[in-house]
């Protein structure tokens, strides 16, 4: 599987969002990552549907939404209507995860499950065959620009093993603190998709940084 790069616009300049999205459009990024935070599941509030509507209008990339919210089921249909292709919910936020994933798929989207740094990979064993994407958080969710947590490498390798055991083939995505120093090692461990915020948007040349992240 080729490497998928998903720049997170959480780190973008929101006063110039059109120009920021145009940079991503002109790059080799595959997706655009939307970090949705409710101030309850995580100690931060980000943005919602009014922003997503305009991102969708300008983006020529697949939209990959990461819901860091409680009760995600209440918003699944609206994300489908907003044109999101991948919708990822947190394992820790879902009481009936199997039902939530089915609802995402029934709304025409690919279904992802994210796990926090403290959540063991083996908790995914009964659900991994029902997912299109597993998101391994490499920071505690809530903010861009945090330090990468290094036990992520082994969690990525465990996820790859679990997928093989179950004969499943979800995308393995990693999110948080990713830069040009850890990307290659994450690919080696088995990651297929990297979410990158600060490293892209704080770069002097985001298009080249995306190219370098993708082609490691």
Active-site annotation, residues = 35, 175
The CB-of-202 to ligand DX5 minimum distance in angstroms stands at 8
Distance (Å, rounded) from C-alpha 92 to C-alpha 188?
Answer: 27
Secondary structure of residue 160 in the 3-state scheme: helix
Q: Segment near ligand DX5 (CB under 6 A), from 82-90, 115-123, 149-157, 172-180?
A: 172-180
Select from 115, 139, 170, 186 the one that contacts ligand DX5 (CB under 6 A): 139
Q: Which of residues 38-77 bind ligand DX5 (CB under 6 A)?
A: 66
* Cβ-contact 172, 192 below 8 angstroms: yes
How far apart, in Å, are the Cα atoms of 75 and each of 175, 185, 193?
Answer: 22, 35, 24
Residue 91 or residue 166: which is nearer to ligand DX5 going by CB? Answer: 91
187 to 206: interface string for ligand DX5, x by CB under 6 A: --------xxxxx-------
Q: Which of 144, 152, 182, 209 binds ligand DX5 (CB under 6 A)?
A: 144
CB nearer to ligand DX5: give 99 or 104.
104
Which of 72, 112, 176, 190 binds ligand DX5 (CB under 6 A)? It is 176
The reply to whether 141 sits near ligand DX5 by the rule CB under 6 A is yes
Opening angle at CA 84, ends 182 and 125, nearest 5:
60
Scan residues 56-85 and list those touching Zn ion (CB under 5 A).
Answer: 66
Nearer to ligand DX5, 5 or 127 (CB): 5
Alpha carbons 78 and 186: distance in angstroms, whole number:
33
- Which of 96, 30, 28, 84 has its CA nearest to residue 55? 84
Quick one: tokens of 171?
């995308």
Residue nearest to ligand DX5 (CB): 197
Answer whether 192's CB lies under 8 Å from 174's CB.
no
Cα 149 from Cα 208, distance rounded (Å): 25
| 119/129 with CB nearer Zn ion | 119
210, exposed or middle or buried, with CB in 10 Å at 0-12, 13-18, 19+?
buried
How many residues line the site for ligand DX5 (CB under 6 A)?
Answer: 22
Binding site for Zn ion (CB under 5 A): 35, 66, 175
Binding site for ligand DX5 (CB under 6 A): 8, 10-11, 33, 35, 66, 139, 141-146, 175-178, 195-199
């Amino acid at each position: 599987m080729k490497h998928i790069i998903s720049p997170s616009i959480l780190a973008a300049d929101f006063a110039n969002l059109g120009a920021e999205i145009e940079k991503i459009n002109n790059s080799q990024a595959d997706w655009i990552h939307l970090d949705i935070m409710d101030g309850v599941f995580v100690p931060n509030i980000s943005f919602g549907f009014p922003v997503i509507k305009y991102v969708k209008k300008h983006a020529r990339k697949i939209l990959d939404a990461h819901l860091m919210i409680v009760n995600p089921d209440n918003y699944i249909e609206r994300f489908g209507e907003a044109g999101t292709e991948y919708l990822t919910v947190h394992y820790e936020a879902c009481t009936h995860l199997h039902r939530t994933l089915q609802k995402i798929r029934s709304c025409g989207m690919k279904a992802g499950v994210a796990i926090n740094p403290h959540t063991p990979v083996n908790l995914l064993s009964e659900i991994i065959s029902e997912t299109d994407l597993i998101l391994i958080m490499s920071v505690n969710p809530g903010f861009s620009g945090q330090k990468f947590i290094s036990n992520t490498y082994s969690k990525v390798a465990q996820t790859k093993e679990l997928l093989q055991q179950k004969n499943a083939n979800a995308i393995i995505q990693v999110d948080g603190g990713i830069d040009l120093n850890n990307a290659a090692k994450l690919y080696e461990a088995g990651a297929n998709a990297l979410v990158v915020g600060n490293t892209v948007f704080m770069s002097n040349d985001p298009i080249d940084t995306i190219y370098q992240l993708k082609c490691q």
